[in-house]
Amino acid sequence: MPNDPRFDLSGKVAVITGATRGIGRAIAFQLGRAGAAVVVSSRKADAVNATVQALEAEGVDARGFPANVGRLEEARALIGFASSELGGLDVLVNNASELGGIGPLMQFDVQRFGRVFPVNAGAPVALVQLAVPLLAERRGLIVNITSDAAQAAYPGWGPYGASKAALELLTRTLALELRDRGVSAVIVDPGDMRTRMHQEAFPLDDISDRPLPEVTVPFWNWLFDQTPAQISGERFAAQAEDARWLQQA
């Protein structure tokens, strides 16, 4: 249940993609601890089941739905599951991402754009299209997870960063286009963390000095306590020391 008694999401329903590890898992736990019913999704059924069991052990109302959100039919089934099993949707967190490999653009197989962009930019839009009727009923919130690679050029990170930059522009556009329907959308950069994806990007590096995803908990407490319409279209850095949200927390 909520760590902070002021942070209560009882009665809310959230769907989180890429929710079995890293920042997605941390978000699922924080939403669940605050009282929300959460739908945990990722491609691997065993990981989904293990995450649901861990959430239920803490008293969270958790459901699992394995899905490859890059496939439209599976994305449709995921949103349909939230509707049929939990009666609606308040929060959609698009966290599932494809790294696409790290290396110079001059050596990048451009055909791999056909996997990176559909997962990192296309799937979130498809899920939003499917979820908007549910979100509109509850004046819900879309949270699209980005990276600092979307705003800065890092050697080796070009394809991933480009896909996240596309996601950021798409999110801002959605925020404007969905405003009259009462649906809000924000972009969140969780920052550098000790995650499997980060280790995959730097397989020979020791990343033990990076913080765990739980370092972002104060940010999620703040974000999900806001009126969605008042923050729609904004980009937040969950670990930034001078972040505006910290001044308001």
Structure tokens at 131: 């979820």
Nearest CA to 138 out of 78, 196, 208, 91 is that of 91
Distant-in-sequence contacts of 181-184, Cβ < 8 A, 24+ apart: 181/132, 181/136, 182/136, 182/139, 182/229, 183/132, 183/135, 183/136, 183/139, 183/140, 183/141, 183/142, 183/228, 184/139, 184/140, 184/141, 184/142, 184/228, 184/229, 184/231, 184/232, 184/233
**Cβ atoms < 10 Å from Cβ of 15:** 28
**Cβ atoms < 10 Å from Cβ of 40:** 30
Active site residues: 160
Q: End-to-end CA distance of the chain, in Å?
A: 20
